[in-house]
Amino acid sequence: MHVRQLSMAIAATLALAACSQNGNGPGPAGQKVSFAVATRPAGAAPAPAFAVAAAPETLAVGNDTIVFDTVQVLLRKVNLERSSATEDCENEQEDGNSNSQNAAPISASDGNDGHSDDCEEVNAGPLILPLPLSEGASHVFSVQVDTGTFGSVHFQIHKPTDDPGDQALVTQHREFTAISVRVIGQFNGTDFSYTNDLTANQHMQLPSPISVTDATPVDLTIMVEIATWFKDQGGNLVDPASAATGQPNEGLVTDNIKTSFHAFKDHDHDGEDDDHEGGQHD
């Protein structure tokens, strides 16, 4: 999916409001933080064990091949946690409810309340996030947050609940009834439709803390390594049909999905951590 297509798909399902928890009103300090998503870096050479092609993405190991045509994840909210945080944003997120029915579109002032709270919350969704099947990072949304240094990112993957926002989304996307992950493709030439009802809080420690100042915007990329989803511990591909509910590889693939998410600073949107690649990034 191209960047423009991804942005249009997000706009069709997304109402976002960013706020810092327990804030009491707008304040003067803050800067834009942009979030992007990627499934592989730009220009990355494929690993020796398998080949990766542009969308649709193709993985080949030995005599087995998986082709990804569509990969989607249902997402609830995102938190940025300060490096000096004394509270657990992950627990705050788990206990909270979605306020999607009250969410407002993104604006320059969203999330900027002048308070240095431990958790800067981006109230996202619920939204269906289509993962790009091309190289590099695709922009998803931008929000304004208070200044400070942040060390980790949290978000929820979840199946729909009785929340009105969830039910409104399911009304438009019946294919997501009672599921949070959906993959459409082919395994060894046979069509498959894999779904998962995973509900999980994802806690991603940033490789290097990010500094949000009044002067400099920040770009973050959430990398989702979908190439690892249908692989066993020996690196072999598994049939997605064998990972359905009640099947032998159900737990394997669910665990692979949980551990496939990473976040890092990525100003050039190439799907690589700016602080751990060649060259300098301003």
- List, for residues 89-103, the tens digit of each pLDDT value: 655 544 443 333 323
Cα–Cα distance between 17 and 99 in angstroms, integer?
A: 9
Provide the token pair at 80: 């940025």
Q: Where are the beta strands (DSSP E) in the chain?
A: 16-20, 31-38, 57-61, 64-82, 119-124, 127-130, 138-145, 148-157, 181-187, 190-196, 200-212, 218-224, 261-265
**Which of 107-110's residues contact partners 24+ apart within 8 Å by CB, and which partners?**
107/144, 108/32, 108/144, 109/26, 109/144, 110/16, 110/17, 110/18, 110/19, 110/143, 110/144
| Greater pLDDT, 99 or 52 | 52
If one counts every other C-beta atom within 10 angstroms of the C-beta of residue 253, the result is 25
pLDDT in tens, 124-181: 668 898 999 988 899 988 888 888 899 999 889 999 999 998 999 999 999 999 999 9
Instruction: Give the pLDDT score at 209.
Output: 92
Cα–Cα distance between 71 and 132 in angstroms, integer?
A: 8
**φ, ψ of residue 166 in degrees (nearest 5):** -60, -45
Nearest Cα to Cα of residue 218 among 226, 203, 206: 206
Nearest Cα to Cα of residue 220 among 156, 271, 282, 157: 271
